[in-house]
Amino acid sequence: MVLVASGEAFKRIDRKTNGRFLRNYPEIEWEGVMGVRDVIAHGYFDVDPDQVFDICKNDIPALIGTVERMIADLR
């Protein structure tokens, strides 16, 4: 559920900033982040649990670091 909520939040940020804000953080593949949200939210039978585990283990730490930097940059 957290992947769905965070993916939706990034979609909203992207829409509200016309794509300008996320572009400042190219180390994250934002289309993939938002795409994972769509697959989990709408493609229940297409969700690969091993892939979700891999995302959580390998990709989320970098995403958290980037979000922390985003927050710091906005202060």
Catalytic residues: 37, 42
Going by the DSSP 8-state scheme, the letter that residue 43 receives in this structure is -
CA distance 70 to 58: 20
Amino acid at 63: L
CB 69 within 8 A of CB 24: no
